Amino acid sequence: MVRPGHVMENPVLGENRIVFTKTAQQTGGESFGLEVFIRAGAPGTPEMVHPLQDESFELLSGSLDFRVGGQERRLEAGESLLIPKGTPHNWWNESNEETHALVELRPALRSEELFANIYGLCSEKGTLPNPLQMAVLFNEHFNEGHLTKPPLLVQKVMFGALAPVGRLLGYKAHYPKYSGWETSSGEGAGPPSTRSVMARGVALVGLLLVASLFLVRWARSLSEG
């Protein structure tokens, strides 16, 4: 799994880069820690909730704006903030300088796996993963966090419907290429290629057409009999 000191960069989200500081294995699952560098003017994250985890921020330099439970505040260097589990929150960097912060989630759950795969996908593709890949990821990691909009039930239904399709096309919630060095090369280590996804899609459509024709003929035979 991810090791302390591992650095990942993300050209898509507001953070320039993250450094893994504490892993679930290292802390016995008690906590997961990151060192985060947030670019000046970063729009930050959409509002989200960690249903089972407390999240803390400690600013080492710069400033960071938060909305926590509907209340806005600015955190300056040397200050800390604890966001209790289940509390809607988001952050952004309105300043003209980079922000450097320590972030910790308690308990760790599978947060390092989620971070490693999202950052790996964004860094490699240069854009957010496609909706089917995102559905596979978030359907797997509802315990680690979910958006506040649309409503949670809608998200569960939507991701629950899209995730099986994504998996059939070859997308996974975990790629050893991003979070495991021992299998970081070779077939299956990273996300499927576009050609592979298209081939699986064509095969899936073909199977659906064959099944549909079979059902139509079976229904006709029943009605004629």
Q: Each residue of 12-38: pLDDT tens digit?
A: 876 778 999 999 999 999 999 999 999
Which tokens sit at 158?
């939507």
Cβ distance 158 to 149 under 8 Å?
no
pTM, 2 dp? 0.85
Q: Which of 10-24, 158-172, 179-193 has the highest mean pLDDT?
A: 158-172
Report pLDDT for 184: 46
Interval 37-65 mean pLDDT? 95
pLDDT for 225 equals 58
Are 73 and 66 within 8 A, CB to CB?
Answer: yes
Domain annotation for the chain: domains and CATH numbers: 7-112 (2.60.120.10)
**Of the candidates 102, 103, 136, the residue with the CA atom closest to the CA atom of residue 118:** 136
pLDDT tens for residues 81-139? 999 999 999 999 999 999 999 999 999 999 999 999 999 999 887 888 999 999 999 99
Query: What pLDDT, on the 0 to 100 scale, is given for residue 66?
Result: 97
Section 200-211 average pLDDT: 68
Q: What is the share, in percent, of the chain residues with pLDDT greater than 70?
A: 85
Higher pLDDT, 179 or 118: 118
Choice between 44 and 188, residue whose per-residue pLDDT is larger: 44
Buried b (16+ CB within 10 A) or exposed e, 66-85: bebeeeeeebeeeeebebee
The answer to whether residue 221 scores a pLDDT higher than 90 is no
